């Protein structure tokens, strides 16, 4: 099925309330480039793919009305864990006065986890960050041999950055 955040985008589009959706590439695994961009095109929603590092410039120069992201887990205090870079988007949105919403199914609400500090963060293999796919199952190293990498899959966005959490209810 479609992602929860895209459900909101799709609803806004069907009501004529969405001019364009901007999708971050979601490095290093490129879920935004591979999945979100595909979903926008399939739904006929006008969309633009941007590099993760372009979000601040986009909000500064072109203006953004709202940010909607997903969440893999929501702690009891409202902190949310999602793909790496979500926290940075929240900080950028707050700086630019852009409402920042998390869309998450109720199955991600975790009353047993007090705050985001209690959410374990998965560390991904170095080659996901240091190498690129070149086709045919082959990968090419783009980072210098010997460089260390830090590659967490998720980050935690403090609840104070959120305008709200939207669920299916």
Quick check: 143 and 115 in contact, CB under 8 A?
A: no
Coil vs helix vs strand at 167: coil
- Give the separation between CA 32 and CA 23, rounded to whole angstroms: 6
pTM for the complete prediction? Answer: 0.92
Is 155 considered catalytic here? Answer: no
User: pLDDT tens digit string along 51-76?
Assistant: 999 999 999 999 899 999 999 999 99
**Percent of the chain topping pLDDT 70:** 98
What pLDDT shows up at residue 163?
99
The residue to which tokens 């893999």 are assigned: 72
Cis peptide bond prior to 28, omega within 30° of 0: yes
Among 52, 72, 118, 127, the active-site one is 72
Say how far apart CA 153 and CA 135 lie, in whole Å: 23
> Please, which pLDDT band fits residue 2 given cuts at 50, 70 and 90?
low
Residue 76: closest CA among 122, 121, 116: 116
23 closest CA partner among 14, 32, 35, 11: 32
Mean pLDDT, residues 115-123 taken together: 97
Backbone torsion region of residue 161, taken as left when φ is above 0, otherwise alpha when ψ lies between -120 and 50, otherwise beta: alpha
Ordered structural domains, the chain, with CATH: 4-166 (3.40.50.10470)
The answer, yes or no, to whether residue 3 has pLDDT greater than 90, is no
């Amino acid at each position: 099925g479609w992602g929860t955040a895209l459900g909101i985008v799709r609803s806004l589009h069907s009501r004529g309330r969405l001019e364009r959706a901007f999708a971050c590439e979601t490095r290093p695994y490129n879920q935004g480039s591979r999945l979100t961009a595909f979903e926008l095109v399939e739904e006929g929603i006008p969309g633009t793919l941007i590099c993760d590092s372009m979000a601040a410039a986009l909000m500064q120069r072109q203006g953004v009305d709202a940010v909607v992201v997903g969440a893999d887990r929501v702690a009891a205090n409202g902190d949310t864990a999602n793909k790496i870079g979500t926290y940075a988007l929240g900080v950028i949105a707050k700086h630019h006065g852009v409402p920042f919403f998390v869309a998450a199914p109720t199955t991600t609400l975790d009353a047993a986890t007090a705050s985001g500090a209690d959410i374990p963060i998965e560390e991904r293999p170095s080659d996901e960050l240091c190498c690129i796919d070149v086709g045919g199952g082959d990968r090419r190293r783009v980072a210098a041999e010997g460089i260390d990498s830090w590659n967490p899959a998720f980050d935690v966005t403090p609840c104070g950055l959120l305008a709200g959490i939207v669920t299916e209810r």
